[in-house]
Amino acid sequence: MDTILENRTWRYATKKFDTTKKVSNADLDLLLEATRLSASSYGLQPYHVFVITDQEVREKLKPVSWGQTQITDASHLLVFAGVTNFDASLIDNYLVNVSQTRNIPKTQLKEYGDFMKSNILDLPSETKQEWAARQVYLALGNVMQAAAELQIDTCPMEGFEAEKYDEILNLKEKGLTTVLVLPVGYRAAEDITQHLAKVRKTKEELFTHI
C-alpha cells in the first residue's frame, strides 16, 4: 500500500497518550511549519496557535475539557484560536507581507486589497468568526497529516468549553476565541482504540463521479 494511505490508516484519534514520550523540538518545528504553510481563504490565516507545555496551565484546561486526559498527558497541546471580529488591518498587514515577500510595490496590490475588503469586512461579526473558524480546520487537517507522516499521534478535540479556554488563556483581550484543541504526542500501549478497524463509508457511498 502506498505510504500516503498507510500513514492515514495508521493514524487515529488517540485516546490515551504515553506521558513518558515527548515530541522532539525538531519534529515540533516541522509540525508548526506544516501548520504555517496551510492554505487559507485569501491566504489571510485569521487565527493564532498556542503551543502549551506548561503543566499548570494544562491542569486548568483539563476540567473544562470534559476531564479528558489527553489535555494533560500528551507531549504538547496545540490550541487553535480564531480571530473574532477582524477589521481592515488583517488585510492590510497581509498585503504588506505580500509586498515584502514577493517584492511587489504595495500600489499594485491595492485593487486586490479592495476586493478582499469588499467581500469580508462588512460581514456580521458572527459570520466573520465562523469564516475564521473554517480556516482553522484547514490548518488542522494539514498538521494532522504531517504528524501522521512522522508517526506522531494526535487527537482533534471539540469537547471543551471555549469560553473557559478563552478566560484561562486571556484570549478575549487578544481578539481571539478558541476553535479547537489538538493534543500531540505518542499513543500509550494500553490505548485499545489503536487496534480497532477504521470505520469509514465505502467509495460508492462517499463519491459521485460526474
pLDDT tens, position by position, 135-188: 999 999 999 999 999 999 999 999 999 999 999 999 999 999 999 999 999 999
Q: Angle CA(43)–CA(45)–CA(101) in degrees, nearest 5? A: 55
Residues in CB range of 39: below 8 A, 6 or more apart: 138, 142
CATH code at position 16 = 3.40.109.10
Q: Decide if 197 is inside a domain.
A: yes
Q: Under a CB-based contact definition with an 8 Å cutoff, are residues 15 and 9 in contact?
A: no
141/80 Cα distance (integer angstroms): 12
Structural domains in the chain (count): 1
Residue 1 pLDDT:
58
Helix (H, G, I), strand (E, B), or coil: what is residue 179? strand
Segment 115-127 mean pLDDT: 97
Q: Decide if 114 is inside a domain.
A: no
Helix (H, G, I), strand (E, B), or coil: what is residue 47? strand
Q: Indicate the average pLDDT of the chain.
A: 97
Model confidence pTM above 0.85: yes
